[in-house]
Amino acid sequence: MTTAPVFTIGIEEEYLLVDPVTCALRTAPPALLTDLKDALGEQVSTEFLGCQVEVGTGVCATVADARTDLTHLRRTVARIARTHGLAPIAASCHPWGDWSEQDRTEKPRYDKLDTDLGAVARRMLIGGMHVHVGIADADTRIAVMNRLTPWLPVLLALSASSPFWQGEDTGLASWRVSVFDSMPRTGLPPHMADWAAYAAMTDTLVDLGLIEDASKIWWDLRPSAAFPTLEARICDVSPRIDAALMLAALVQGLARMIWRGLSHDQAIPAPLILAENRWRAQRYGTTKGLIAGNPARIVPMEKLVDDMLTRIAPDLAALGSADDAQRARAVATGGTSAARQRQLFATARARGASERDAFRAVVTSVIEAFAP
Residue 310 confidence (pLDDT) above 90: yes
- Residue 94 to residue 96: CA distance in whole angstroms: 6
- 372 falls in which pLDDT band (50, 70, 90)? confident
> Which uninterrupted H or E stretch holds 298?
strand 297-299
Rg (CA), the chain: 20
Q: Are 215 and 203 spatial neighbours (Cβ–Cβ below 8 Å)?
A: no
Which pLDDT value is given to residue 2?
54
> Both ends of the chain: CA-CA distance in Å?
39
Average pLDDT for 349-354: 98
Render pLDDT for 264-273 as a digit per residue (tens, 0 to 9).
877 889 999 9
Q: What angle (nearest 5°) sits at the alpha carbon of residue 135, between those of residues 244 and 248?
A: 10
Render pLDDT for 85-139 as a digit per residue (tens, 0 to 9).
999 999 999 999 999 999 998 888 888 888 899 999 999 999 999 999 999 999 9
If one counts every other C-beta atom within 10 angstroms of the C-beta of residue 281, the result is 28
Render pLDDT for 23-76 as a digit per residue (tens, 0 to 9).
999 999 999 999 999 999 999 999 999 999 999 999 999 999 999 999 999 999
If one counts every other C-beta atom within 10 angstroms of the C-beta of residue 61, the result is 14
Q: Which amino acid is at 223?
A: P
Integer angstrom CA distances of residue 214 from 58, 301, 352: 22, 34, 51
Classify residue 27 by its DSSP letter.
P
Average pLDDT for 302-309: 98
Query: What's the predicted TM-score (pTM) here?
Result: 0.96
Average pLDDT for 157-170: 98
Render pLDDT for 6-16 as a digit per residue (tens, 0 to 9).
999 999 999 99
Residue 1 confidence (pLDDT) above 50: no
Among 63, 154, 57, 364, smallest CA distance to 239 is for 364
Examine residue 300 and say whether the peptide bond preceding it is cis (omega within 30 degrees of 0). Answer: no
- The contacts of residue 133 (CB under 8 Å, 6+ apart) are 5, 7, 8, 9, 229, 230, 231, 232, 251, 252, 255
